Copies of this chain bind each other. A is one copy, B any other.
Amino acid sequence: MMLFTKTLLSDSVKNLVLLLLFFGFISNGDALADDGYRLWLKYDRIQNATVRTSYSKSLSFIAISGNDDILNNAAKELQTGLSAMLGKQIPIVKNPVANQKGIILSVSAGAATGDGYAIEMKDGNTVVSATKEVGVLYGSFALLRHLQQHLPLEKAVGQSSPKIQLRMLNHWDNPEGTIERGYAGSSLWKWYELPETVDPRYTDYARANASIGINGTVVNNVNASARFLTAEYLPKVAALAGVFRKYGIKTYLSIHFAAPKTLGGLKTSDPLDPEVRKWWAEKTKEIYRAIPDFGGFLVKANSEGEPGPQDYGRTHADGANMLAEALAPFNGVVIWRAFVYKADPNADRFKAAYEEFAPLDGKFAKNVIVQVKNGPIDFQPREPFSPLFGNMPRTPLGMEFQLTQEYMGFATHWVYEAPLFKECLDADTYVNGKGSTVARIVDGSLHNYPLTCIAGVANTGSDRNWTGHPMAQANWYAFGRLAWDHTLSPETIAREWTQLALTTETKAVTAISDIMLRSREIYVDYNTPLGLSRPWTGSHYAPEPWQNRSSRPDWTAIYYHRADSLGLGFDRTTSGSNALQQYRPKASSAWLNAETCPLPYLLWFHHVQWSKQLSSGRNLWDELCHRFYTGADSVRWMQKQWAGVSTSVDPAIHADVSGRLAKQYKEALWWRDAWVLYLQTFSGKPIPAIYPKPDGTLQQVKESVNSYLMR
């Protein structure tokens, strides 16, 4: 089960303890190293005896009635966590024990609504109650989280309900085990072994998700294989669903829109063809026979070469509604992605999703959600919010964030993403006046959406520590916490995660969360400052702002930055692509004018002359140099800050992160030099004398970048 599923010891416990005692003595420091597997569910023994004693007195049993899987898992998790933190076994009982204080888990109608939970103190007992079993599970994890932070028990009292209904991970995992944009090993799902062999790790995955309120998972890539719809693969998916179900998580599949042809042998996949509709209806029935609580379909259609309804002259709504019809009898949902853009040399990719989807508002069936990436392009380190948000009041819009760091340094750069998520969620669309934030659209409160959804493209993989970069665990965590409650601050979440996953020492918590909170801005500064975007083509990793050749113009780097002898940036005002017209005037008013446009968004919307004086007091060229240099230099600050917590963090994790920070610093210099030297060929201006010279020539930087682009 749980935490210790994967220890290395097979013999009796007595033997084990003896062994470990000796290993303790002969340890050279990392013998008992933390490998990060436990994530934020570490449950280290509480060292402070006062706290421990106080908890022990009040939490001496866990009472549940009935034999529900989810409730049992709530009790088991409490037992696992409490026993480890308190250093004594806490029993699971059917009824509260007389003359003792403990935890009572209760499903009752009067408690918190929906997936929510309440924690109350009653007669000295701590009562976790909810109207649904899964609410009790969430409440139990909330209680554990509270105790992991060593807070006074009575302060755990309160109620909490999630603001968004479907809180999902999207796995871009392929059937052969690779992960598109995965940087933490291979897929967690062992398709060849399933369903006969069920890796115990699936349970730990479910525990981790349930602990932060995630209640849905799409197990396969949106560039979908039809394999998953076959009779051969459905039992495999069902085996995963069987594990996840016990933690309140529904399983979804990405579907291949052409499956009626490729799998069903039909002549068409036209969504208005009766045979096609019948095929999907039958296939959906088959799925629900295998997985009665199946969640639904995620669809990438007519996007980057994937098949879709437009292949038959139909609309996205036609395609989505066909699937919706098949799913409706089972209360399944269609999550239809709005990530579309055409290879049109005269178009602005920024505008594509809006242009295709906004006219379809109101045309989707009731059980369809349109899932929109946070920004109009593609998960850049900073983007303005997608103009679709607010412009489809009659269509539930779901949010798609990317946890995996496709454009944020893979697993070698430390970027805490909560500020990015929050920036988008807090953005005001002004569609119903001030306060019409993206968050209020996504949580349904602004347009009274009957369905609400938020998805994170998972950063998990088979690496022992789940996420490659140990600190990237925080992005999974933060996503879940914000999916539950988008009003939480990045700082609150950073401090909370640090305490759960790394250390409870206050100074270290502050030092680490300081790094986290600055990390994204630092990355933006050396990577894509002032509203630059997409300086990648092949690798999505190494700097390639010079990339000017591709099968389509919007797959070059120069398409995005538009550097020339006059200046830099993409004019999206009326004199340019006029993409800004897709926003409400109040939302875009500051952006419309280069004089007032906040610097973080400047080059998203304006082609700015190199000598243009900015609000910072520097001209554009100098400001760019300032950002690249100070951004890169700030990684040294991260290194120093991290060095300062060496005694507060497990040595293995500390060493691992130190190594990654060294790499990050090296690569921050790479980015700095790549951009500065490349842009200098347009600006013709000197690097301000206060900065050191680049470490090499442009040619040298290109050569090292090319190493990462070779077969």
Interface residues of A (CB under 8 A from B): 1-11, 13-35, 37-38, 42, 44-45, 47, 79-80, 83-84, 87-89, 175, 177-178, 183, 185-186, 192-193, 196-198, 200, 225-227, 230-233, 256, 262-263, 410-412, 461-464, 541, 650, 652-653, 656, 659-660, 662-663, 666, 703-704, 706-708, 710-711
Contacts and interface: CB of A to CB of B under 8 A. Distances in A.
Contact of A84 (B23, B666, B704, B710): B23
B462 A263 contact: no
A16 B4 contact: no
B10 A27 contact: no
Copies of this chain, whole number = 2
Contacts of A24: 13-14, 16-17
A428 B44 CA distance: 62
Given A35-B6, A44-B11, A185 B177 contact: yes
14 contacts: A7-B9, A9-B34, A17-B24, A18-B45, A22-B84, A26-B80, A33-B200, A185-B186, A200-B652, A226-B710, A226-B711, A230-B707, A232-B708, A233-B707
A145 B34 CA distance: 28
A193 B660 CA distance: 7
Contacts of A25: 89
Contact of A30 (B5, B31, B87, B262): B5
Contacts of A463: 462
Contacts of A15: 44-45, 47, 87
Nearest to A663: B196
A19 B38 CA distance: 14
Given A5-B33, A83-B26, A16 B10 contact: no
Contact of A197 (B183, B198, B663): B663
A706 B264 CA distance: 12
Contact of A23 (B4, B47, B541): B4
Given A15-B45, A196-B659, A185 B35 contact: no
Of A29, A230, A410, A711, chain B has the most CB atoms within 10 Å of the CB of A711
A10 B44 contact: yes
A263 B10 contact: no
Contacts of A27: 1, 4, 13
A659 B14 CA distance: 29
Contacts of A541: 192
B193 A42 contact: no
B4 A31 contact: yes
Given A19-B84, A26-B89, A192-B541, 20 more contacts: A3-B8, A4-B23, A5-B30, A5-B31, A6-B33, A7-B7, A7-B9, A7-B32, A17-B21, A18-B87, A22-B83, A22-B89, A25-B89, A193-B412, A193-B660, A231-B704, A231-B707, A232-B707, A232-B708, A462-B463
Nearest to A653: B10
A665 to B, nearest CB: 9
A8 B20 contact: no
A413 B192 CA distance: 11
Given A32-B16, A232-B704, A663-B193, A8 B411 contact: no
A13 B5 CA distance: 19
B34 A193 contact: no
A547 to B, nearest CB: 18
Contacts of A5: 30-31, 33, 35, 652
A591 B120 CA distance: 83
Given A410-B192, A707-B227, A19 B45 contact: yes
B87 A22 contact: yes
Contacts of A666: 196
A23 B83 contact: yes
Nearest to A193: B412
